[in-house]
Every structure is written in C-alpha cells, then in structure tokens.
Amino acid sequence: MNRIARFILFDILKNKIVIFYTVLLFIISWSVLGLESNFTKATLSLLNIVLLVVPLVSIIFSTIYVYNSSQFVELLLSQPVPRSKVWFNIFLGLSTALTLAFLLGCGIPILLYSSIQTGASLIIIGIFLSVIFTALAMLASISTRDRAKGIGISIFIWMFFAIIYDGILLILMFQFADFPIEGIMSALTAVNPIGLSRIFVLLQLDVAAMLGQAGAIFKQVFGSGGGMGISIAVLSIWAIFPFLWSLIKFNKKDL
C-alpha cells in the first residue's frame, strides 16, 4: 500500500460516519450473538443484518467520498502519476477502510461468541460485500458528474440487489415452474452478490429450510461443497469486474 492509499485509509478511518458504522456493527453483533444461546440462530439473525447494512453503507459512503475527493483526484492527476494508479489506490483505500470497519465491528463478537466454521463464513461474505459495493460505488460515481444522480444510482443498485432482484427471480420461478430451468436459475442466482452471499453462509450452516427455492436449486445443481466454491469464485468476479469497468471509464473521462 503506497502513500496515496495510506492517506485515504487513515483519512476514512478518522471519519465520524465510519466510526459510527463500526460501533453500530459491534453493538448489533454483540447483542445478537451474546444474548442468543443458539449459535446457528444467532448467525442467521446477524446474517440478515449484514446483508442489508454492509452493502448499503459501503456503496453510499464510497459514492459520496469519491465525489467529495474530486479536487484531490485532480491534484493527483496534475502530478506525474498514472491515472490507473490513482484510481486503484482510491479503491484500495476505500475498500480496506470499510473492510477494517466491518472486521472490528462484527469480527470481534463473532470470534468471541460464534464457532469458527459459522463465524468464518459470515466474515468472508462481509469482506466480499464491502469490496464489491465499493467497486459498484466507484462505477456509479464515475458514470456521471451529477452528485445527486450518482447517489441515486448507488441507492438503486443497492435496492435492486437487496430487494427487487429476489422478487423478479421468484416471479420467474413461478411462471416457468413446469420447465427444467434449474441450470438457468442457478446462473441467475449468481448474478446477485447479496443473494449469493446469503446462499454461501446457509450452505455452510446447511440450513435447508432457510435456503429458499433459489438456494435449493443452487444446492441441487452444485452441491454444498461445489456451491461454496462457485460462490467464492463468482463473488471474486463481482469484486473485480465493476472496478475494472470503472477504471476504463476513469481513464477515458475528461476531468
């Protein structure tokens, strides 16, 4: 991590919103895990919170930060520094800061109260979601100069993956229930990083009743072990592809 990324990292870690986010996650995690004797039930409760809060905070905070850093970016580009290096270090600083906030907020209570197997799966998807939605935020912010429009795009992205997409998937399942669509539905399930993260943890917990129809099809096609491997691979693609797309846009953009 070079000077640009370190500067961004320490600047974000001092931000009051990030501090509040870390404390909030710690209080929620400690309350859910510490007060519930059933570790599986507590992990499921915390999972639902993580799947909503972590992507929302990551994408909104990252979008606002990129817009607020426009003058800083222009200053860096006036120096003999490659554009790709500047954009990558902004992404590195943002994603590292939000990942550290998640690890401090949720990681400590999970290590204290949850089992290693179930806790590790929750920590893994929290890290992935922090990185993925930071990358999506950078893609949204570089797509338009209008701050309000960029934040609106980010909110829509979160709403689409957190709420709307599952509804669309459910409608498709009911409409084509008489056809052999298991393979297609498994592929469509992987398009949603939030839904895929949920399935990854539930496959780890092996809670069949909580998988839902999409998760059941995913498990049927790939199995528990194969499904977890596929989930990690697809989440990795989700973390890389939006950033590379935003990098291409940034390199072509006239600032």
Q: What is the pLDDT of residues 173-220, one digit of tens each?
A: 777 766 666 667 767 777 889 888 887 777 776 554 455 555 555 555
Rounded mean pLDDT, 146-174: 87
List the single range of 2-16, 37-51, 127-141, 221-235 with lowest mean pLDDT: 221-235
73-101 as b/e: b if 16+ CB within 10 A: beebeeeeeebeebbbbbbbbbbbbbbbb
State residue 208's pLDDT score: 47
Mean pLDDT across the chain, nearest whole number? 82
pLDDT greater than 90 at residue 224 = no
pLDDT greater than 70 at residue 247 = yes
pLDDT greater than 80 at residue 2 = no
Q: Which amino acid is at 247?
A: L
128-161 as b/e: b if 16+ CB within 10 A: bbbbbbbbbbbbbbbeeeeeeebbebbeebbeeb
Rounded mean pLDDT, 154-173: 86
